[in-house]
Each structure stands twice: as C-alpha cells, then as structure tokens.
C-alpha cells in the first residue's frame, strides 16, 4: 500500500471549485477499481489531504498525481508518497 500526502495552497477552498468535480471523479473511478481505498482532506485547517492506495506499485500513485487537476492547476504545491504497511484493518 501507499499513502499520498498533499499540501494545499492557503486559499484552496476558494480556488478548487473549477477543478473539484474532475478531481473527485478521478478518485471515484480509482475507488471503484479498488485502487484507492479512501481519500479525504484535512480540516481545521484545510491545508492538505491523504489518499490511501491499495497498490504496491509507486508508479500507480505517481500516475494519479500527474493526472490530478489539483496538481496541474497549482493547488498542490508539494506532495509525497509513502509506502505503508497496514497492521490492523482490511
């Protein structure tokens, strides 16, 4: 498994609207395919997000990042991918 960690720009809430539907559609597609297990933004403050990928292939995560309209349009100035060993849960 891998976790993708995003850091958002300060004004992401105001800037994300034109790209949000496409961003969520991409995540939903990967979720339906079993590639994304869960995803969500941090709140209070809204300064980033975490996405859990059900894959051991880092390139799958990198491909998502390359396609994500949030990254393409400057809403995510930095991100990192971490391999993750699930200890409890499915």
Domain ranges (residues) in the chain:
2-83
- pLDDT, tens digit, for every residue of 45-54? 999 999 999 9
Domain 2-83 has CATH 3.40.190.10: no
Q: Looking at the predicted structure, is the pLDDT value of residue 65 above 80?
A: yes
**Which position has the token pair 């949000």?**
20
CA–CA gap between residue 77 and residue 88 (Å, rounded): 32
Q: Looking at the predicted structure, is the pLDDT value of residue 80 above 80?
A: yes
Q: Looking at the predicted structure, is the pLDDT value of residue 89 above 90?
A: no
Q: Looking at the predicted structure, is the pLDDT value of residue 90 above 80?
A: no
Classify residue 89 as left (phi > 0), alpha (psi -120 to 50) or beta. left
- pLDDT, tens digit, for every residue of 2-60? 999 999 999 999 999 999 999 999 999 999 999 999 999 999 999 999 999 999 999 99
User: Taking a C-beta distance cutoff of 8 angstroms, is the pair 36, 52 a contact?
Assistant: yes
């Amino acid at each position: 498994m891998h976790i993708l960690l995003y850091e958002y720009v300060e004004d992401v809430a105001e800037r994300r609207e034109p790209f949000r539907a496409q961003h969520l559609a991409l995540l939903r597609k990967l979720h339906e395919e079993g590639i994304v297990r869960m995803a969500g933004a941090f709140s209070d403050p809204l300064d980033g997000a975490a996405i859990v990928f059900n894959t051991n292939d880092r390139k799958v995560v990198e491909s998502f990042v390359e396609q994500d309209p949030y990254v393409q349009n400057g809403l995510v100035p930095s991100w990192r991918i971490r391999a993750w060993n699930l200890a409890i849960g499915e």
